[in-house]
Chains A and B, each alone.
Chain A
Amino acid sequence: MRQFDFMGKRRIAFIVSIVLTIVSIAALALLHLNLGLDFTGGTVVELHYATVPSLDEIRALLANSGFENFSVQTFGAADEILVRLQQTFSNDVGSQVVSALSSSGAQIDLVRAEFVGAQVGDQLRDQSGLGMLVALAGVAVYVAFRFQYKFALCAIISLGHDVLIVLGLFALFQWEFDLTVLAGIMAVIGYSLNDTIIVYDRIRENIRLSRSDNLAQIFNEAINQTLSRTLATSGTTLLVLFALFFLGGDMIHNFAISLILGIVAGTFSSVYVAAALLIVFKLERQDLIPVKKEEVEEELP
């Protein structure tokens, strides 16, 4: 079987990772996430038209009916229209929008109307951030306990890297970030961790088995040994995600995107970031193999 020299190219990988991370941070800082209704609060009305309408006409009709600060876009199909309103919710904003728009004679069905109070959105935002941190902290403790703290540190950096890149791409392309995407990102944390742990597990095993002190070599072997597994699992997961992306419908479109991106990033990072960082953090054989307590023997007469 062909052996790839992953560790030899780790500098290139680091550069790629750092560039991606910087781009992501820049995108997040400059463009911000396009937060969905769940987080911003506001009102969304989804409508189904019998015939494909013109968006400009809809905007004109809404403006004439006294609506302010709204945005109109198609949702999935050309005859599905999503109207977002900043205004607070009144009792029947859904039917108001429908009646305003059907004054032009178009046939419209109300598909859904959603309203989220601003306060709920704020709270959710705090809660989600906190949740992500708690998840990362829990993972770190577990890895530190099962492996060693250097592993935990590297695993966390690699997870943060994945999350940051997915968030960055969402900001860069201004894809809507809603609650399902948050769930997707949490799943990415779980998934990428899964990959990382498998690689670490093999690294640990190989360090214990081999007598060599050339860690780069040991890592290379471990990664090559787990490579076919990594690709197979990523492959099957990507297969089902593409099924979701193409067939699952508009409401989980972005969810599927977040996972697809996350799995690609996670696979890359479990190979390069997580393992290669161990070299940067100077992992040593002694970290995994407990030092025998020889002093006790010396004291014996």
Chain B
Amino acid sequence: MLNRYPLWKYLLILIVCVVGVIYALPNLYPQDPAVQISTTNGSLGDQQLDRVTRALAEDDIQVKSAAMTGNNTALIRLVDAEQQLPARDVVDEILDDDYTVALNLADSTPSWLTSLSAAPMKLGLDLRGGVHFLLEVDMDAAVEQRLEATASAIRADLRDERIRYRSTDIDDNALHLEFANSEDRDAAREQISQTFNEFQLENREEGRRAFLDMTLTEQSIQDIQDYAVQQNLTTIRNRVNELGVSEPLVQRQGPSRIVVELPGVQDTAEAKRIVGATANLEFRLEARPDTPDAETETFPFRNSPQRTATLSRDVIITGDRVSSASQGFDQNGRPQVNINLDGTGGSLMNQATRTNIGRNMAVLYIDHSTEMRTVTQDGQQVQERIPTTSRSIISLATVQSALSNRFRITGLDSPTEASELALLLRSGSLAAPIYFVQERTIGPSLGAQNIERGIFSVIVGGLLVVAFMLIRYKAFGVIANAALAVNLVLLIAAMSLLGATLTLPGIAGIVLTLGMAVDANVLIYERIREELRRKTPAQQAIHAGYGRAFTSIVDANLTTLLVAVVLFSIGTGPVKGFAVTLSLGILTSMFTGILVSRALVNLSIGGKPVKKLWI
């Protein structure tokens, strides 16, 4: 019989629809404005929550619920979004510095839905407000830093092996060692080739002087750069976590860039300082008076730039060896940073200090920064980055006894500086300098407005289409509209399931999908009308209509999908969101336009003797 589906087809379509409804459902539950508390020392519990809720009640802030959400995090849901900011201030005041308090929007998905791992769509920054950074990792500096570290290690090695060298010199991707004669050079080459196999070694003579040129291979340059980006990614992630932002995004984009998105953050300056900070520490011994000049460097003091001290070129350890750091005060009330080193760092420190009791050790504060300058080059304005590195001594103290893995640093200006330094040491330093190439701040009011307008235009657009289809195709319009509704549900479900982020262009994509989704049905119905005009019986007309429109629909949609995929691959951020909605929309509209609408037609009039079609 014509126009009947086997039972399994109906069931399959039904199951898809039910699954769609379940996974689209969480989006209907509004998000609660909330304050999130987190700590690193594990002392957050019901007791603190009690204190906080009591204080909030005193300030007339209505609390919906307060509960622990993990070992070290708690969530206080509020009734009124207006009270979110005052609530944060209250909570921040009650809890001390060990706790991070942040604004959050908490899902209120019921537990039976979360148990099916259904969750609402994530909102993009343009819809919820926040900060977006695009960072570029300075690849050249990454290589240069690695060469400096290698030079330092080689110097130590050569001294241990009692091989005399004159100087070490770095220029692009190569390290040049100078020796007094070729015997020393050959001995050094023997030694170096064992340990540093990422270099290509080459001998060079200039008059009497003998050089060893060490050039990095292409592969190892790439490895270094890759490592630098990965390492920076980890570090920035750590730092962002310290900021206590809910649902931050830190992601690599392309070979040398990192995207950071901090929803809800409005204070760009602070976020930027923490994310982009490049401060690090180095521990070095003060040079002995008889140390040759090639092995020493002179630095000013941070607090009194006139004063300088001459330090050995060799670094005992850097801030990278710090396993934990916290801010504190010494007995005079001056800020200090308490530091714990990791195993390697502890033994390196111990070795260096054990043999040098009585000498001075300096803590060197290093800050990489880049300045942008506009210069005119070949008649065009070009922006040039000038990286500057400032190194200054924050403390110089006599080594009283062999140091182990715990000690403290003094000589800092303020408690803020101490706590920021502690944070930076904890989260690790950046393996290469970074700079900001893009930055967007979207106010929360703009976000709310965007959602409101977006949803409104989806509703209006949808209603217009529904009305159009009803007027033009009457009874079949009802079926097309039902298919359209299913399409919207499936699209939202698919986006929620895939964890796609909803952006403003994404909403535009949904609206556009609504307009284009009826295309399949329009094609089919026009075919049916045509068949009817040729006096084909009703059931056959339906059958032929669906059958003949099929190839047109597939061809047309596949090509559009192709374009959407290209858009996805070149786009970033919001545009990617648009491409995702467009592609998903094409897939769901093919399903609903062909299968769902057919199933509805088959169910209602399939196989029955129908004389006239309301189309």
Contacts and interface: CB of A to CB of B under 8 A. Distances in A.
Q: Do A and B bind each other?
A: yes
Contact of A131 (B440, B462, B567): B567
A248 B126 CA distance: 13
Contact of A91 (B269, B468, B514, B575): B269
Contacts of B571: 131, 179, 183
Interface stretch (B138-146, B208-216, B390-398, B548-556): B548-556
29 contacts: A1-B533, A88-B372, A88-B383, A92-B269, A95-B269, A111-B442, A111-B443, A113-B268, A114-B438, A119-B136, A119-B437, A120-B437, A128-B570, A131-B567, A142-B558, A183-B578, A186-B564, A186-B567, A186-B579, A190-B582, A205-B548, A226-B526, A228-B526, A232-B526, A233-B518, A244-B512, A247-B460, A248-B507, A251-B504
Contacts of B556: 193-195, 197-198, 201
Interface in A199-251: 201-202, 205, 225-226, 228-229, 232-233, 235-241, 243-244, 247-249, 251
A139 interface: yes
Given A142-B558, A190-B582, A232-B526, A237 B515 contact: yes
A249 B515 contact: no
B104 interface: no
Interface string A89-127: 101101100000000000001111111111110001001
Contacts of A130: 570
A244 B457 contact: yes
Interface string B501-526: 00011011001101110110011001
Given A88-B383, A109-B443, A110-B443, A249 B453 contact: yes
Contacts, number: 225
Interface of A: 1, 46, 48, 88-89, 91-92, 94-95, 109-120, 124, 127-128, 130-131, 134-135, 138-139, 142-143, 146, 179-180, 182-183, 186-187, 189-191, 193-195, 197-198, 201-202, 205, 225-226, 228-229, 232-233, 235-241, 243-244, 247-249, 251-252, 255-256, 259
Contacts of A233: 516, 518-519, 522-523
B340 to A, nearest CB: 32
Given A142-B558, A247-B456, A198 B523 contact: yes
A91 B529 CA distance: 64
A199 B259 CA distance: 44
Contacts of A143: 559
A115 B515 contact: no
B195 interface: no
A233 B457 CA distance: 18
B216 to A, nearest CB: 25
Interface residues of B, number: 74
B575 A180 contact: yes
A146 B514 CA distance: 27
B449 interface: yes
B569 A131 contact: yes
Among A88, A189, A236, A244, find the residue whose CB has the most chain B CB atoms closer than 10 A.
A236
Contacts of B563: 135, 138-139, 186-187, 189-190, 193
A256 B573 CA distance: 19
A243 B462 CA distance: 9
Interface string B440-458: 1111011001100110110
B229 interface: no
Contacts of B453: 247-249
